[in-house]
Structures are given as C-alpha cells and as structure tokens.
Structure 1
Amino acid sequence: MQEAAQTVLLVLVTLFPIVDPLGGSPFFLAMTRDYSPEGRRALSWRIAMNSFFLLVATYFVGTYVLAFFGISLPVVQIGGGLIVIATGWSLLKQRDDDKDEKQDVHKTVQPQDTNRRAFYPLTLPLTVGPASISAAITLGANAAHHHMYHPLTILAALIGLVLIAVSILLCYGFADRLARILGPTGMTVITQLSSFLLVCIGVQIAWNGMKALLESLALHIR
C-alpha cells in the first residue's frame, strides 16, 4: 500500500505542474467567454476525458513503443528525467514563454468552433502538451522498471491520472470562480511550489536511470 500511495503522489506531483490546469484555466476561460457556465462545464468534461485517455495511453504504451525501437529503460529514465528537470526549471524561472504559447493557441481558435475542437487544440497542446507526454512516458518507464506493472501499481497510476483529469475538470469547469478566488498571486504561488518539486522528482528519475547504467557497466567490467 505504501508503494501504491507513492505511485499516486508521484504521478500527481510530476504531471500536475506540467499539465498546469490552474495556469491554463484563464486561457480556457478566454476561449469560452461566449459560453454559458453549463456549456463550459460540459466542454471541460470532454477535455478532461480526452486528457485522461491520452495520458493513460502514453503512460502504459509509451514504454513498449520505445522498446520497439531498442531504447532501454535506464536511457528513458535519464532522458525523461532531464526533460522533467528542464520543464520544472523553466516553470520556476520563466512563465512568460508558456503564456505566449497558450496565447498563440488562443488566437487560432474561434469561439464558434471551440466545442468542435475539444481535442485539438484545447486538449492537445493547450492542456496535455509534449512535456506532459514526455513526463508520462518517463513515469511509465520508471514504474515498469521497478514494479513490472503490478496490479496494485497499475491501479495506483490510474488513480493518479484520474485525479489529474478531475483537476482539469474542476479548474476549467469553474475557471471563472477560480480566477476570482485565487487571483494571479495565488495561482503563481501554487505553480512555483509544484515546479520546485518537479525539479526534485526529475533529478531522482534521472539518477535512477544513471544508477542502473552504472551498475550495468560495473557488471560488464567484472
């Protein structure tokens, strides 16, 4: 049970600041300004479901796709860990680039066709972008390496991904209320704390892969 709880927390702490439903909610609100609250919640439900299935597929299938191309799990851990570190560090140091990117997405979406484009670009790349996909692949590889997808680990990962989807549903569905309650300062504080934890997790994941490669090298030398 302890390992399952750690898996849930790892999925949450790693993916939440990258998916960043808090930071994405103002852009979602701007893109759906002509929608009623009920229509906005219905659309946020579709985006949350799309994000969940996209992350589940990436988490559980991404490792086997990499294996097909002959990429070992330690290498995935190192590469993915570095990406997670870079993502967390960029979120800590500079969020303007991310905002500009999301604003560019906003410019390409017209209010009348937002519902028709619930997957693209509202789910991908506004909510689940390349960094989220890379992090999910890394988490899946890390879990497969340590637990070989034990049923309890699979359930724990699914719970973590469900919680991510729920956070998207709540942040997007109630974006108008969230913006009033938290304000820009509150959103910044939450995101900055999550980003710091993200850097630490990336270091740990990269170290796990490096340690496995060093142990493999030591065995070959002997």
Structure 2
Amino acid sequence: MLPDQTLFLTQLLTLWAVFDPISHLPLFIGATPNFTSQERRRAAVISVLMAFVILAVFGFIGQFLLAAMGISLLSFQIAGGIVLFLFAVSMVLGDNSHALTVPAKRGNAAARRDAVMKVAVFPLATPIIAGPGGMLTIVLLMDNNRYSHMEQLQTLGALATALAGMLVIFLAGDWIERITGSGVTQLLRRIMGLLLSALAVNLVLSAVAAWLKLPSI
C-alpha cells in the first residue's frame, strides 16, 4: 500500500475509534427526544457539518491559538474533560433541559427551527462530536511541525469520511429507536452517560498524570 494511502487509513481508523459513532447514537437520540423525524435528521446534518468545521479549523489553528493564549494541551484537555463530565452527569440523572426548549406544539415553526439549531450546536456538535478528545486528536494528526499541507488535506479527508459514517448512523436513529423502543433508549442513554463521565474523568486524570510525571492510568 502506498505511504499516503497508509497514512489516510491509519488516520481514518484513529478518528473512527475516537468518535465511536455507534456508541454515540444513544447520545444523539437522548439529546433529541422531542424532535420529529425530519427535525432529528436536520439536527444530525447540521451537527455533523458544524463539528467538521470546528475540528477542521481547530486542527489548523489549534496549536497557534493555544500557544498564543499561553494554554497548554494538558490544560485544554482538563477543561474539556470537566465540560464533558457536566454534560454526562445530566445524562445519567435524566436532565433533558436542553431538549425541553423544543415547543410541545408544532404550530410555531420558527421556534422549533431555532430549538433544533440550538441542540445541533450544543450538545450535539460540541461536546458530543467535537469534544476534547476529538480536538486533541485532530491537533496531533495535523501537527504543523510534522506534516505538509498535502498530508493535512488527507487528514481532513479522513475526518470527513469518519463524520460521514457518523451521520449515516445518526440518520438511522429513528429506525433503530423504533426497533428498540423508548425504554431501551433511555436505559442506553444513562449507561452511555455513565461511560461518558468515566471518559471525562479519564481525560482529566490522564492530563494530571502527564503533568506530574505519574504512571499512566
């Protein structure tokens, strides 16, 4: 296999493992419980596109931005882990405050479109898709000191491919939810919230361990 193809495949598999689209499906369903099928599809498309823009921009300027502000990658990882943990706790406790912004009646189309946009931005685009783990990964994969512009474009291609796979899985959410039922969906939401909170704690502890030169967790 050619070196550029090997790089693309390696980065694609890395990003797929970080995003873990299948495990993120319950998070997507849990964040859009009051949406119609059309609104859920719209939220999926918007959130994935916005996540791509966020990650692509951060991949190019993340190192410079953090350096200019005097922020280390470890500090960014800790801050992102804390935000992710707070969102995960709301999932475990069944807090649907972000979903309750959707009007119960369908008469106010403008208000519902606004609600879909809000949920697509937070929590779907960030921190569910473009979370601290994804941002750190894309910064490392697009290291300005190691990779050429052509290699960085390959990384963007791998990112687009991974997010396209996530979008396909999100768009199948309604079909999967009809098969499993709302009860199973709520159970999966809480389980994923617990796992997400553990991931957030691991991000923080890993950064602290790296800072203090402690053994890996």
- From 98, 101, 119, the equivalent of 1:101 is 98
Q: Which has the higher contact order (CA 8 A, sep 6+)?
A: 1
1:166 alignment partner AA: V
Q: CA RMSD in A?
A: 3.5
User: Normalising by structure 2, what TM-score?
Assistant: 0.67
Give aligned pairs, total: 192
Q: Who is 1:35 aligned against?
A: none
**Pair 1:141-2:139 in alignment:** no
Seen in structure 2, the aligned counterparts of structure 1 residues 206 and 157 have a Cα distance that, compared at 3 Å, is: farther
Task: Return the alpha-carbon distance in structure 1 between the equivalents of residues 33 and 138 of structure 2.
Answer: 36
Partner of 1:191: 189
Taking structure 1 as the reference length, the TM-score comes to 0.66
Distance 1:60 1:213, change over 3 A: farther
Q: Does 1:213 align with 2:211?
A: yes
Q: Choose which of 199, 204, 217 in structure 2 pairs with 1:201.
A: 199
1:11-160 equivalence runs, <5 A: 11-12=19-20, 16=24, 20-29=27-36, 40=38, 44-62=40-58, 64=61, 66-67=65-66, 68-92=68-92, 94-95=93-94, 97-98=95-96, 100-107=97-104, 110-113=107-110, 117=113, 120-123=114-117, 125-130=118-123, 132-134=125-127, 136-144=130-138, 146-148=140-142, 151=151, 154-160=156-162
Displacement after TM superposition at 1:49 (Å): 2.6
Q: For residues 191 and 51 of structure 1, do their structure 2 counterparts lie closer, same or farther at Cα, with a shift above 3 Å needed?
A: same
Where structure 1 has 5 or more consecutive residues not aligned to the other structure, the ranges are 33-39, 216-222
Identity of aligned residues (%): 20
SS at 2:99 equivalent = helix
- Offset of 1:91 from its aligned partner? 1.4
1 CA distance for matches of 2:19 and 2:140?
15
Question: In structure 2, what is the Cα distance between the partners aligned to 1:134 and 1:15?
Answer: 14
CA contact (8 A) 1:15 1:132 kept: no
1:104 is displaced (CA, Å) by: 2.5
1:170 maps onto 2:168 in alignment: no
Contact 2:34 2:102 in 1 (8 A): no
1:5 paired with 2:45, answer no
- 1:11 Cα deviation from its structure 2 partner: 1.1
Cα distance in 2 for partners of 1:58, 1:21 equals 18
SS of residue paired to 1:105: coil
Alpha carbons of structure 1 residues 200 and 26: separation in structure 2 relative to 1, 3 Å:
closer
The separation in 2 between residues aligned to 1:143 and 1:198, in whole angstroms, is 17
